[in-house]
């Protein structure tokens, strides 16, 4: 744990220096990583801690981004109201999807979350008057220069990450892991497994929504690509690369994923090919992800 903390704090500190460098591209890329880290960590509450593979988290991400964009750009509300409403929208979506999907397990859970998110994608594509269809909504304000927006976002992301951390370390988190390992036993000890899974879904969906709202402000446009199912696959891959069984795994996976994508696409058009090989070898040989390797060889606990 000590090694992890030192690594973590130095990395956070390093990233705080980035805006000072004055390199706009680097700033944008780093903030993108930060937001996707929150996305992956929030996703992993449902995946790693509750053992349910959601293939529809893009719904919460884009649901929040669209709610913000529609309220602020189309309806003329102020940015803070849009930001809060975006997060609230994600929370509402997660309650709804949670109620309807959590009775299912494994493939069926993955499929029903996929179905709901693609339903939303269909609505976004077709309801042009409100969502702008394929073009999306442009002109989302940030409310401040990007320099300050960076620190604002990082502060929010760190607070959210801390809340998620407290959640998975709480009694509820423990019960969730218990359900993941042996649902019947947890039921026998008198807990409603559905209730706890719903808590996990709400936490996961709501914080995914925070990431989505920040993304809308960073990008200043919201397009249907963030509600497509391939955007739901992103945190799955990142979590798997980093290691689903630890809190920081998804964060590390996201950093590797985004930087690798950025670097590889500079040299070759065929970045998916390399990503495919990485995914296949992770599943075949390193199922614990990067964190699993670190724990096994470096930090023998």
Partner 1 sequence: MDLNAIAFQLILGIASAMLYWIVSSGLTFTFGVTRVLNFAHGAFYMLGAYFTLSFFALTQNYLLSLFLGAVIVALIGAGCERGLISRIYGLPIPFQLILTFGLVLLFDDLVRIFWGSVPKMMPAQFIGSINVFGRILPVFSLYLIFAGVAIALVLYFLLSKTDWGVEIRAITVDPETAMCSGLNPAFLYATAFMFGSFLAGLGGGLYLPISSASPGMGEHIIIYAFIVTVIGGLGSIKGAFVSALIIGIIESLGALFVPWMTIALPYIALSAVLLVRPEGIFGEE
For partner 1, the binding residues (CB under 8 A) are 47, 53, 55, 100, 103-104, 106-108, 110-112, 114-116, 118-119, 122-123, 125-126, 229-230, 233, 236-237, 240, 269-273, 275-280, 283-284, 287
55 beta partners: none
Comparison of 115 and 146: residue with beta carbon closer to partner 1: 115
Comparison of 84 and 278: residue with beta carbon closer to partner 1: 278
To partner 1, the closest distance from the beta carbon of 207 in angstroms equals: 21
To partner 1, the closest distance from the beta carbon of 261 in angstroms equals: 12
Rounded Cα distance between 73 and 152, Å, is: 21
Rounded Cα distance between 97 and 183, Å, is: 21
To partner 1, the closest distance from the beta carbon of 113 in angstroms equals: 10
Comparison of 85 and 124: residue with beta carbon closer to partner 1: 124
To partner 1, the closest distance from the beta carbon of 129 in angstroms equals: 11
Rounded Cα distance between 214 and 210, Å, is: 6
DSSP of 144-210: S-HHHHHHHHHHHHHHHHHHHHHHHHSHHHHHHHHHHH-HHHHHHTT--HHHHHHHHHHHHHHHHHH
Comparison of 122 and 141: residue with beta carbon closer to partner 1: 122
Comparison of 24 and 108: residue with beta carbon closer to partner 1: 108
Of 292, 226, 219, 295, nearest to 253 (Cα)? 292
To partner 1, the closest distance from the beta carbon of 281 in angstroms equals: 9
**Angle at Cα 259 formed by Cα 135 and Cα 291, nearest 5°?**
120
């Amino acid at each position: 744990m000590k090694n992890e903390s030192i690594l973590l704090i130095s990395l956070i500190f390093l990233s705080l220096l980035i805006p000072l460098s004055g390199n706009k591209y680097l700033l944008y890329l780093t903030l993108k990583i930060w937001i996707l880290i929150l996305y992956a960590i929030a996703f992993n509450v449902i995946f790693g801690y509750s053992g349910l593979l959601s293939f529809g988290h893009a719904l919460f991400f884009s649901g929040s981004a669209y709610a913000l964009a529609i309220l602020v750009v189309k309806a003329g509300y102020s940015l803070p109201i849009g930001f809060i409403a975006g997060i609230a929208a994600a929370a509402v979506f997660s309650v709804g999807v949670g109620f309807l999907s959590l009775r299912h397990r494994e493939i069926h859970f993955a499929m029903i979350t996929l179905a709901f998110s693609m339903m939303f994608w269909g609505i976004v594509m077709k309801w042009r008057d409100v969502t702008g269809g394929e073009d999306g909504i442009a002109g989302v304000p940030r409310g401040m220069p990007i320099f300050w927006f960076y620190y604002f976002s990082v502060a929010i992301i760190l607070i959210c990450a801390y809340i998620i951390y407290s959640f998975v370390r709480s009694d509820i988190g423990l019960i969730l892991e218990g359900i993941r390992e042996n649902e019947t036993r947890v039921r026998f000890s008198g807990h409603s497994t559905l209730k706890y899974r719903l808590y996990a879904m709400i936490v996961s969906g709501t914080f995914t929504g925070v990431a989505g709202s920040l993304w809308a402000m960073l990008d200043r446009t919201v397009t249907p690509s963030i509600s497509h199912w391939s955007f739901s696959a992103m945190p799955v891959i990142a979590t798997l690369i980093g290691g689903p069984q630890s809190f920081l795994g998804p964060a590390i996976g996201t950093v590797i994923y985004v930087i690798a994508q950025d670097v590889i696409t500079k040299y070759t058009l065929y970045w998916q090919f390399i990503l495919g090989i990485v995914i296949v070898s992770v599943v075949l040989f390193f199922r614990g992800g990067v964190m699993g390797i670190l724990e096994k060889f470096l930090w023998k606990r």
